[in-house]
Structure 1
Amino acid sequence: MGYTGKAVLAHFGHYRPDQITTDLCRSYAKQRMDSGISQGAVHTELGHLRSAMTFAERNRMITAAPHIERPAKPTPKERFLTKDEVLRLIDNADAPHIGLAIHLLFATAGRVGAVLDLTWDRVDMDRGTINLRLDDARTRKGRAIVPINKGLMAALQHARDAALSDHVIEWGGKRVASIRKGFEGAVRRAGLRDVTLHTIRHSAAVAMVSSGIPITQVAQYLGHSNTAITFSTYGRFAPGHLTEAAEVLDFVKLRAVK
């Protein structure tokens, strides 16, 4: 929200909530997209403004939240990485903590916030598990307890031997607030395109489903409380998905029998 506010407040900050109009929202969207910002990013930014206005109304800070018009949400990209591409990303990281973060993101299918929050007391080397959850209820949602595979175990053991703080992802003995710049640098050096931090989590889910891991297990790994969400997003990547349905529509078989 703080990052989004830099752009949103420059355009809307001089207005009262009741002065925000559809035309003002449209001019913001046009200005941002004319400057090269993607439609999806503008959709998100105006969504944050909508959330802030709704919060203000709910807490009686304003009488009524204005209508915030947003451009249509673009169709999600189907980009996902192969294991070789993930390895290329790690190899092209210009700092050890960036490479370890990428490895953790893929091996745990966790969100970047969960990985940056991770502390060594929640990494159980003996049991071979990582607890991505924090104790507070707010950050438990969408976070899971996952096993550590052999490749990640070796990387974590090496990192723990050199650790200078409680956080697994650290730089100079301090918690890392963001890996965006380092990640984007690794993407460029690896020669990849259309790759974001969320692409790693998406790729991990696709890798599991396409290898035949049951949707229920994938949902647990992703921290989804509802397996229907997991299936609607990743079911099409399952081997044999809709194969039986396709067989029902095969009229050539009928001709062969005759």
Structure 2
Amino acid sequence: MPRKPDYDHVELARRPDSPYWQYRYYDPFSRKVRFRSTGTADQAEAQRLLRDVIRSGGASTFKTDPQPKTVVLTVPGALQAYYDRYACNIASAVQAKIAMRHLTSYHGPLPVVDLSEECQQEYVNHRLEEGISPKTISRELSVLRASLYFAKEKDPSLTIPTILDVPELEPRGRWLKLEEFNKLLEKTKSPHIRLYMLLGIATAGRPSAILDLRWDQVDFGSRVIYLNPQGRAQTAKKRPIVRMTEILYQALLKAHAERRTDYVIEYGGYAVNSIRTAFREAAALAGFAKGDVTPYVLRHTAATWMAQDGVPLWEIANYLGHKTTRMVEKYYAHFDPGYQEKARAALDRRLDAIADAPQLHPRRAMGERKELRAAQPGPEKPMKSVQKMVGATGIEPVTPTMST
């Protein structure tokens, strides 16, 4: 059994932005490491305060401290308030209601402050994969944007993110060549980031599915991974069952033997809540431009590699968790070595049948006719004198082709 992290463990730490010593502890609810100031810059005094905290129960003492209750604005909350107080009375109320349903289904109770550009990009990718047109996605984002502006108007103290549009977010089809992926792995120093990258390629899973992956979802006997945990209802972002590659199997065996939590991706004895910062740093060390390579690129890379090796489109769609092959046909079919091969060959055969037609090779046909005339004997023509060619008018000579 994996060793459970000590949730009451507290230690002292320093932060570059504060002269005071800090209590550092793990919050299992947010799955993040938290800091709290001791209020002193003296190490001995901080050690004394730490001993008092440990005697009082460790990190659990911080959770019982009275905290001011703050209302967190979520995506569903902002959308519902906008619809109830305004959008229900406009001409496009039905379209707004439909957009709300898709936005809420995808984002769930996500705080609006977490609507980063990458989060918005993932939503656009998801809708494009479902075969939704950019125009429709743009309309959905406009509803989200309007709901945030409405919330800001009611409460000016709110901080709302900028909601971009599809032309700025539509994916460029970025995928990694084998040497690029090797370079990314080579420059990645943290084992848990390297394992995440390997899982991203070998399972083609979405970032959230990989971070949520627990060891009870990994079946070493059958060598399959259940990306959707038991008890979780399948949503629009379907998480399929995928088979392990040999390299991933060996890497997971090693990680399983060294595990300290129930999560496959862990760091320092804790589950990892977000991979974005560490992934961005690894990409920068590998020499990629800022924003060029993101965690979602691994999913695109996996699909592209499968298509390049001629994997049937329906099998790629199944591996990605799609119900149909519509998205795969749109974005990955042209990578297949056999893409349009029958169509090209059919036209090639037709063109070969008329390859000798002089209309297709006018210069070659003209040369052949000249050679044919030169080879045929004919009556000798008397040579005209220069005087007769020039004539008495003094204008340019009349050439043989101009004479009658």
From the superposition, tell whether residues 140 and 91 of structure 1 become closer, same or farther in structure 2 (CA, over 3 Å). farther
- Counterpart code for 1:130: I
2:218 corresponds to which of 100, 119, 123:
123
- Counterpart code for 2:187: N
Is 1:253 the counterpart of 2:346? The answer is: no
Distance of 1:101 and 1:90 partners within structure 2: 10
Shift of 1:143: 1.1
Shift of 1:157: 1.1
Residue 210 (structure 1) aligns with: 308
Residue 165 (structure 1) aligns with: 261
Distance of 2:164 and 2:282 partners within structure 1: 32
Contact 2:310 2:338 in 1 (8 A): no
Contact 2:141 2:165 in 1 (8 A): no
Shift of 1:198: 1.0
1:223 corresponds to which of 321, 326, 331:
321
From the superposition, tell whether residues 186 and 161 of structure 1 become closer, same or farther in structure 2 (CA, over 3 Å). same
Q: 1:219-251 CA deviation, whole Å, 9 max, x = no partner?
A: 111011112222222111111211222234446
Q: 5+ residue gaps in structure 2?
A: 1-71, 88-116, 125-136, 148-162, 358-404
- Counterpart code for 2:255: A
Contact 1:133 1:140 in 2 (8 A): no
Aligned to 1:146, the other structure's residue is in SS state strand
Distance of 2:356 and 2:318 partners within structure 1: 45
Distance of 2:178 and 2:74 partners within structure 1: 32
Shift of 1:190: 1.2
Shift of 1:83: 2.6
Contact 2:228 2:234 in 1 (8 A): no
Shift of 1:72: 4.6
From the superposition, tell whether residues 94 and 139 of structure 1 become closer, same or farther in structure 2 (CA, over 3 Å). farther
Q: 1:170-212 CA deviation, whole Å, 9 max, x = no partner?
A: 1122110111111111111112242111111000000001101
Q: 1:23-82 CA deviation, whole Å, 9 max, x = no partner?
A: xxxxxxxxxxxxxx89x86x969855724878xxxxxxxxxxxxxx96452453132112
Distance of 1:3 and 1:254 partners within structure 2: 69
Residue 50 (structure 1) aligns with: 143
Is 1:185 the counterpart of 2:278? The answer is: no
Residue 155 (structure 1) aligns with: 251
Contact 2:316 2:328 in 1 (8 A): yes
Q: Greater helix share, 1 or 2?
A: 1
- Counterpart code for 2:217: R
From the superposition, tell whether residues 104 and 71 of structure 1 become closer, same or farther in structure 2 (CA, over 3 Å). closer
Distance of 1:246 and 1:138 partners within structure 2: 41
Output the aligned Cα RMSD.
Answer: 3.4
Contact 2:205 2:239 in 1 (8 A): yes
Distance of 1:257 and 1:163 partners within structure 2: 71
Is 1:233 the counterpart of 2:348? The answer is: no
Distance of 1:171 and 1:236 partners within structure 2: 39
- Counterpart code for 1:165: T
Seq. identity, %: 35
Is 1:73 the counterpart of 2:167? The answer is: yes
Distance of 2:232 and 2:144 partners within structure 1: 22
From the superposition, tell whether residues 162 and 3 of structure 1 become closer, same or farther in structure 2 (CA, over 3 Å). farther
From the superposition, tell whether residues 3 and 94 of structure 1 become closer, same or farther in structure 2 (CA, over 3 Å). farther
Contact 1:92 1:186 in 2 (8 A): yes
- Counterpart code for 1:76: P
Contact 1:17 1:53 in 2 (8 A): no
Distance of 1:88 and 1:222 partners within structure 2: 25
Aligned to 2:305, the other structure's residue is in SS state helix
Distance of 2:331 and 2:248 partners within structure 1: 26
Distance of 2:185 and 2:339 partners within structure 1: 32
Aligned to 1:178, the other structure's residue is in SS state coil
Contact 1:4 1:48 in 2 (8 A): no
Residue 86 (structure 1) aligns with: 181
The 5 A counterparts of 1:82-121 are: 82-121=177-216
Aligned to 1:156, the other structure's residue is in SS state helix
- Counterpart code for 2:248: L
Contact 1:118 1:168 in 2 (8 A): yes
2:340 corresponds to which of 242, 247, 253:
242
Q: 1:77-110 CA deviation, whole Å, 9 max, x = no partner?
A: 1321123322222222231111100110000000
